[in-house]
Structure 1
Amino acid sequence: MLKEQTEPVELTETLVVPATMRAAVYRGVNDVRVETIPVPEIGAGEVLVKIHTCGICGTDLKKIHTGSHSAPRVFGHEMAGTVVKVGEGVSDFVVGDRVMAYHHIPCGECFYCRKRTFAQCETYKKVGCTAGFAPSGGGFAEYIRVMDWIVQKGLVKIPDGVPFEQAAFIEPVNTCYKAIELLGLQNDETVLVIGQGPIGILLAALAQRTGATVLTSDLYAERHAIAAKFGLDRPLDARGDVVAAAKAATGGRGADVALLAVGGDALIRVAMDAIRPGGRVMLFAATQHGEAPFDPAAVCMDEKTLMGSYSSSVAINDEVARLVLEGYGNGFDLTPLISHRFPLEDAVAAIDMASHPQADSMKIVIQP
């Protein structure tokens, strides 16, 4: 097991950074290779970060397996590490700072930003962190270049004593927190979270923090056991009739909200059937285009709402950072969600494991 680092690194402005580094390079559909590539150069307003921990996200896997993006690239965006070089004009960060970096930050001025739909902003869709090649996050490498607009609004300092592993959850927690905010949960509501992988557990834990009653559904008892560590003590066996179980738990009405935290369009119908008239279904993992049948009368006559949430929200960056960083050791330790840690040289095996989740696999991280 790799040793976690929680203490600040003693470095100087004259730190020597190598010319080359190791990286897991995407070369085409289902083709990732660990290679030696140049360490990216930084410019004015930018910083270079040495990666300590980077989680593997489902969106990384989708890109690798579908060929949705051109090659070569280095993916990975749930990342935390240490600043090892700063560009001209950077005043808020110094060499040795422990940080996490968002890879998307919106412009704050366009139509979509004014409507607080930040993920649709054209600047947001640009990626501001790279290990080289087309910017794609870059966390599956030893070093990343963090561009100026990310340094200004999307680089978060990690306090001493908080592990990099905890800080690497800030970006995924933001995406989940955004979804919970959009739902506007009330403390007399019952929420069904379908799927108890790491994202499902985060969604369920955040929903429970609002005071709502949370039901969790998954195929694996092992995942329910991990969810129980977060106070999620109303498990439903996904091999059974989840709709009937949700109704039984709510006096026959159905849940007020269903959160779909796994892919699979067939589960949209399950979620819609599991909620009461006037309830809401939140799609969180439906990130591939296609067609998914559902009963339109359930939306019209039963007044059920089908909604979605995608990516993070800059409006809650500060709140989420406080939650995650102050939560370590104070009831919101997220490191138990990590089931496997791989060195960078074994990145291909890490990606393969994440692509074929098992009962005992949760968040998988790469640690250069």
Structure 2
Amino acid sequence: MTVTATSKGHAMAAETLPATMRAAVYRGVNDVRVETIPTPQIGPGEVLVRVHSCGICGTDLKKIHTGSHSAPRIFGHETSGTIVRTGPGVEGFTIGDRVMVFHHIPCRQCYYCRKKTFAQCPVYKKVGCTAGFEPSGGGFAEYVRVMDWIVRSGGLVKIPDEVPFEQAAFVEPVNTCLKAIHNLDLAPDETVLVIGQGPIGILLAALAARTGAKVLTSDLYPERHAVAATYGLNHPLDAARENIVEAARRESEGRGADAVILAVGGNALIRTAMDAARPGGRILLFAQTQHGEAVIDPAAVCMDEKTLLGSYSASVEIQEEGARLVFEGYRNGFDLTKLISHRFPLEKAVEAIEVASNPTAKSMKIFIQPGLEV
């Protein structure tokens, strides 16, 4: 048995780990199975984290349903948990630390990093967390191995004692949303339309509102608007009953929204988003992560001078800001656990993925929690 000093100076014995663990293993298109696999071994500079909570992200679902990635893999990257092993050379972290994990961290030196386009960095594109097989996040498992460059370069973030694991698991998605809001460069006198009020749409809208801008939220379901209202979003548009383009103009003195954020996957609403923006406005695509063709109005870009832009993944440049928003927010009215509609034990991960893949009015953020009772 190994004895290690914790960050608070108390001795903590390293727990005896099982040789095997349970994990939700992707075996092919629409084929995920809960299996027993070896518990990951770690090397120098690495840590092993016992997973407490992992959110299901839309990108996880895309990979599962499209077969864009080879099998077998273990997905899940919105991960929080407790360090149970540290490899030789690890500094600043010890057994017992509560942490959340970024699965991508850039090199900070290449051309893309110098241009602050971190998600395009070749090192960033490598995944630095695995529960086994090809590194793919690994959060849908009991334990996840965090590789050396993630640990060394700031991808492992300590969770304050008073912040629950569920709140901390939102650090990565909040970073991605905050990056998008920074890209829009909103001003207090502007009107923003956020199309889609799932958990990501609500995060985007709530962060946009922090700039002082007027934020309109659009969704088909009143239940989702009710959740959004708990975050101070009080300009709901009923997409099931009203024309969103006309409503955006009505709420902006006839001009159209200064900025429109499309937080719904697929391409069907891109033209709607463009039409809802004023001349000279900005349209940000957030959830369009599959390559393909889409219909846009080129004259809206040229003659109407509308700007079409995108935002993808997290930014290391705002990592501290995003983490602070999540950690301090739990105490100051930004409780993100209210977005969680379903919590599933790992043994029911297939059911969790099914619920997340078929959203309803009452489903929001879906979490897998290995320690939850079956």
Question: Which residue number in structure 1 is paired with residue 3 of structure 2?
Answer: none
Answering whether residue 295 of structure 2 is matched by residue 296 of structure 1, we say no
The CA deviation at 1:13 is 4.4
Cα-to-partner distance string for 1:327-358 (whole Å, 9 max, x where unaligned): 11211110000000000000000000000000
The aligned length equals 360
Using structure 2 for the length normalisation, give the TM-score. Answer: 0.95
Show the 5 A alignment for 1:295-334.
295-334=297-336
Distance of 2:198 and 2:34 partners within structure 1 = 27
Q: Is the 8 A contact 1:11 1:95 kept in 2?
A: no
The CA deviation at 1:270 is 0.3
Q: Is the 8 A contact 2:14 2:84 kept in 1?
A: no
Q: Is the 8 A contact 1:11 1:96 kept in 2?
A: no
Show the 5 A alignment for 1:40-119.
40-119=40-119
What amino acid is the match of 2:204? L
Distance of 2:183 and 2:280 partners within structure 1 = 16
Distance of 1:189 and 1:14 partners within structure 2 = 54
Question: Which residue number in structure 2 is paired with residue 259 of structure 1?
Answer: 261
Question: Which residue number in structure 2 is paired with residue 270 of structure 1?
Answer: 272
SS in 2 for 1:124: coil
Cα-to-partner distance string for 1:39-86 (whole Å, 9 max, x where unaligned): 110000000000000000000000000000000000000010000000
Change (3 A) 1:98 1:11: farther
SS in 2 for 1:204: helix
Distance of 1:110 and 1:13 partners within structure 2 = 41
Question: Which residue number in structure 2 is paired with residue 147 of structure 1?
Answer: 147
Answering whether residue 204 of structure 2 is matched by residue 197 of structure 1, we say no
The CA deviation at 1:264 is 2.5
What amino acid is the match of 2:50? K
SS in 1 for 2:75: coil
Name the % identity.
74
The CA deviation at 1:26 is 0.2
Q: Is the 8 A contact 1:13 1:85 kept in 2?
A: no
Answering whether residue 366 of structure 2 is matched by residue 364 of structure 1, we say yes
Question: Which residue number in structure 1 is paired with residue 163 of structure 2?
Answer: 162
Cα-to-partner distance string for 1:292-345 (whole Å, 9 max, x where unaligned): 111100000000000000000000111111110111121111000000000000
Q: Is the 8 A contact 2:24 2:349 kept in 1?
A: yes
Answering whether residue 184 of structure 2 is matched by residue 183 of structure 1, we say yes
What amino acid is the match of 1:202? L
Q: Is the 8 A contact 1:130 1:145 kept in 2?
A: yes
SS in 2 for 1:12: strand
Show the 5 A alignment for 1:330-341.
330-341=332-343
Q: Is the 8 A contact 2:128 2:135 kept in 1?
A: yes
Q: Please list every run of 5 or more consecutive structure 2 residues that lacks an aligned counterpart in the other structure.
A: 1-7
Q: Is the 8 A contact 2:171 2:323 kept in 1?
A: yes
Distance of 2:348 and 2:268 partners within structure 1 = 34
Question: Which residue number in structure 2 is paired with residue 174 of structure 1?
Answer: 175
Change (3 A) 1:183 1:273: same
What amino acid is the match of 1:225? A
Q: 2:355 aligns with which of 323, 348, 353?
A: 353
SS in 2 for 1:123: coil
Question: Which residue number in structure 2 is paired with residue 250 of structure 1?
Answer: 252
What amino acid is the match of 1:66? T
Distance of 1:15 and 1:226 partners within structure 2 = 40
Question: Which residue number in structure 1 is paired with residue 209 of structure 2?
Answer: 208
Distance of 2:314 and 2:66 partners within structure 1 = 23
Question: Which residue number in structure 1 is paired with residue 243 of structure 2?
Answer: 241
Distance of 1:12 and 1:41 partners within structure 2 = 20
Question: Which residue number in structure 2 is paired with residue 279 of structure 1?
Answer: 281
The CA deviation at 1:17 is 1.1
Cα-to-partner distance string for 1:154-210 (whole Å, 9 max, x where unaligned): 000001110000000000000000000011000000000000000000000000000
Distance of 2:266 and 2:124 partners within structure 1 = 27
Distance of 2:334 and 2:14 partners within structure 1 = 37
